[in-house]
Structure formats: structure tokens, C-alpha cells
Amino acid sequence: MKRFYLLAVSLFLVAFSLMLEAQEKEKTNNWYWGISTSITPSVDTELKTHDFIRKDNEQWNEYYFDFVEGTFYSWNLGLNIERRFLDNRLAIVSGLLYSQTISGMDSDDYSSSEFMMINISNGSSGVEYLKVKGFDQKAHYLGIPVGVKYTPLKDHFVNLYIKAGLTFDLLLGHKINTDFVNPLMNKYNDRVGKLFNDPANLYTTFDFRGGMKLGKVGQPNLNLEIGPTVILSDDPSSITTSEVGFSFQLNVLLPL
């Protein structure tokens, strides 16, 4: 009888250990965390018009766009968390992101005599202009991504998936730097920067990406993602406008 009880207790302990191991495995397979980084160049950048910018003391006109080009792109670095369902095929993803948008307006050829005239004063003392080669702006955001990821195939070391989601970014601050023809005019940098409107306080984007996963369920995963990004905010930059970009993302996920 004692042997029976000893055997029963042993079997119970073994079963209990296996159950805990199964629960831990299930938990590990369902929750992941990691880090990510991405870069998103714009594919449709256009310059904004500004009343205080002239071409050689002339009004802004079509010729102005012949020697000035605009740029816009963004990048981010974030902490991600992922909860998987349906045998690890469906996942809800979120996290916390630091993002930076970078935009600029520059003359095409710095060796040429082309430059912009910036009107900084229309007071009683007369009209004042500064000669400028270009501008660049960096805006800093803190945001939260919310998305859904779906893996249609069974788990393999190399697997494919699709992901869609929104990212909501709040503006932390921004800075415009001016490239003056005469470096002695750098003291007017902040004054010129205040002539521009601020970028959007809420920078919102929608992403749709295809991804490739390296690593099996329950193991560290390396993910590569590419796809279009639609900019939902009207003013992602004080200098340029953009509605569509193309994102490249790399992230590493570890099981919890």
C-alpha cells in the first residue's frame, strides 16, 4: 500500500511538473518582447510655399522650384511587445517608439550662385533680407504603435507574414537650422526658424507591411519588414509635405 501511495504521489508530481512546463511553454510561445528600428523615406515630397521666401527679391514662382529641392523621411527606435493567438498565427503588437522626422529645402547646386532671399523684417526701418542656401528640420516624437500581424503558414524557421497598424506620435520638440550664405548671419538662425509654422503635434501614420521571420516559436525571432506607410497628418514638416513613404523595419523579438 505504501508503495502504491509512493507511486501515486510520484505520478502526481510528474504530471504536475509536466503541466507547469506545458503552461510555461504556452506562455513563452504567446508573449514576446523586443526592440525595433525602421526608416521611412518619402516617395512624394513637395515643397510648401512661404510668403517670406523670395528668389533674388522676386516673388515665389515656378522658377523657384527649378533650383530648390525638398526632402522628407523619418526613422524610429522602439520597444515592442507582442501577444500571439490561434496557434501563434495571429498577433496583437504594440509598444513605445521614439521617432524623428527629418525634412529639408536646399538649392540643387551649392557651387552655383543660386540662393533664397528670406524676408525677416518689414518694419519702419525698411525691408531686410538674408541670403540662404537651405533649411533642415528635425522633429522629435514619442508614440505608441497598435497593429495586427498574421502568419498564414505553419511554423518554420523561415516564415512569412503580413502586418498592418497605426502609430500615434506626440510632438516633443523641433528645431529648424538655416544654411546662410554668409556664416556671420548664423546669429539669426532662431529668428528665421520662427517664421515657419510648427509641424503637427500629432503625427499619425498607417503601415501595411510584408515580413519575413527567422526563428521558430518559443525562440528568439529576427523579423524583416517592408511596405508602404501612409501619413495621415496634414503637417508632418514645417518645410515640406508628404503623404506616402516606404518603410524598412528590423526587429528582434524574445519570448517571455
How many domains does the chain contain in total?
Answer: 1
pLDDT digits (tens, 9 = 90+) for 198-237: 999 999 999 999 999 999 888 899 999 999 999 998 888 9
Q: Which has the closest alpha carbon to 61: 120, 116, 122, 137? A: 116
Q: Which has the closest alpha carbon to 247: 202, 203, 199, 208? A: 208
pLDDT value at position 63?
45
Give me the amino acid identity at 72.
Answer: F
Contact in structure between 136 and 176 (CB atoms under 8 Å): yes
**Phi and psi for 239 in degrees, rounded to 5?**
-110, -40
153 domain-assigned: yes
27 domain-assigned: no
Write out the three cell numbers for 150: 498574421
pLDDT value at position 62?
47
194 domain-assigned: yes
CA distances from 203 to 19, 73, 74, 166 (A): 46, 13, 11, 11
pLDDT value at position 163?
96
pLDDT value at position 130?
87
206 domain-assigned: yes
Q: Which residues contact residue 254 at a Cβ distance below 8 angstroms, ignoring those fewer than 6 apart?
A: 32, 33, 34, 220, 221
128 domain-assigned: yes
Q: In this structure, are strands 158-180 and 53-54 parallel, antiparallel, or unpaired?
A: unpaired
The CATH number for 177's domain is 2.40.160
234 domain-assigned: yes
Q: Which residues contact residue 92 at a Cβ distance below 8 angstroms, ignoring those fewer than 6 apart?
A: 82, 83, 85, 147, 148
pLDDT value at position 42?
95
pTM equals 0.80
Q: Which structural domain range is residue 132 located in? A: 32-255
Q: Which residues contact residue 250 at a Cβ distance below 8 angstroms, ignoring those fewer than 6 apart?
A: 36, 37, 38, 222, 223, 224, 225
Which residues of the chain are modeled with pLDDT < 70?
1-29, 55-67, 108-113, 122-126
User: CA-to-CA distance for 208 and 157, rounded, in angstroms?
Assistant: 23
pLDDT value at position 13?
52
Q: Which has the closest alpha carbon to 211: 129, 149, 168, 256? A: 149
191 domain-assigned: yes
10 domain-assigned: no
